[in-house]
Amino acid sequence: MFDTIMVPIDGSEYGYKAADVAIEIAQKFGSKIAAVHVLEEFSLNSYDVEEDSGDAILAKITKKANDVGIEVTEHLLTADPLRDMKFIVDQTRADLVVIHAHGANNHRFVSFDENDVSDTQIGSVSERLLRTSEVPVLLIK
């Protein structure tokens, strides 16, 4: 049913929850995971720092999936997640995207309690992907 499940990983606890769901679905359908971490085009941090952080985030998902027999392809990209996520989905040839409703914003992780975020709100990247994706999107709350 799903050959490739894409899961965008931003390093937030919410992103890791979405990855857990993607791994569970991949186990049930014998799917592969396309783990994607997007480096912001314009960051105040050095590229090397951002790249090392992204590699560590992707490695965490890969290990978790590999431990249960799921194949993972890691994608570390420099892009604008809001603008480019649909293109990234197309390039990974995903049949399903599993994404959390909220995530990181320039390393200031969304906190429901600290930022008065309602559980009925969704982030801008997730919202745009829901509107533009040509493949099913599973939104994890």
Fold of 4-140: Rossmann fold (3.40.50)
**pLDDT 10s digits, 58-86:** 999 999 999 999 999 999 998 888 888 88
* Spatial distance between the Cα atoms of 65 and 58, rounded to a whole number of angstroms: 11
Q: In whole numbers, what is the pLDDT of the chain averaged over residues?
A: 86
**pLDDT 10s digits, 34-43:** 999 998 777 6
The mean pLDDT of 103-110, rounded to a whole number, is 48
Q: How far is CA 16 from CA 8, 29, 41, 50, 122, in A?
A: 9, 20, 22, 18, 16
Burial of 69 (0-12, 13-18, 19+ CB in 10 A): exposed
Whether the pTM exceeds 0.95: the reply is no
* Spatial distance between the Cα atoms of 139 and 96, rounded to a whole number of angstroms: 11
Domain boundaries, the chain: 4-140
* Spatial distance between the Cα atoms of 109 and 81, rounded to a whole number of angstroms: 15
The mean pLDDT of 80-96, rounded to a whole number, is 91
- The answer on pLDDT for 11 being more than 70 is yes
Beta bridge partners of 35: 7, 74
* Spatial distance between the Cα atoms of 17 and 40, rounded to a whole number of angstroms: 22
